[in-house]
Structure 1
Amino acid sequence: MSMYTTAQLLAANEQKFKFDPLFLRLFFRESYPFTTEKVYLSQIPGLVNMALYVSPIVSGEVIRSRGGSTSEFTPGYVKPKHEVNPQMTLRRLPDEDPQNLA
């Protein structure tokens, strides 16, 4: 005789593990989708000064821009973000032109 009922065992089996993307949540909070296939990256040459501690009482000082360079590249693979619908597949014979299907 079992201590658990069938319904309790099925409920325990249906609980799925939910993946928590900790690394992505901590370091990559924002995503920047592009409307084109080209990706543009901007760089500031040399060392970039970064404030370790910013006081809310002391006013900041504007640092003159040193310029920069922007490079562009086209990635080798662009992941499609559209929904895959199996109802949209076409049945055709080998070497049959999909444009001629009605």
Structure 2
Amino acid sequence: MCIGLFHEAYFNKGYGTEALKLLDYGFGMLNLHRIELDVYNHNDRGMHVYKKIGFKQEGILRVYLFINHRYYDLIMMSIGNNTANRIKAREDLPGPFFIFSVPNRSLK
């Protein structure tokens, strides 16, 4: 799965944080143990949101992407089910992600 906001018209509207509701789906409905993501080092907004909700940096693929005569690093991050459950209890983090819940039922 890939989630990306590639045009400035979509920046600062909460779409990225809203998309992170998928963590509840992954941990609740799919019973995943961990969720991983990749983000390029020039994406300061994304990195800020990911770190704020508990993602931890696991590695860097140096000079991974070449765009407009410049190289960018790929940052690998992950969050575990236990981390996500602890973070849900915090009240100082963005509301929409933490209000969302998925009923515990099997997929059809």
TM-score by length of 1: 0.27
Asked which structure has the greater RCO (Cα within 8 Å, sep 6+), the reply is 2
Select the structure of larger CA radius of gyration. 1
Task: From the two aligned structures, give the one with the greater strand fraction.
Answer: 2
Task: From the two aligned structures, give the one with the greater helix fraction.
Answer: 2
TM-score by length of 2: 0.26
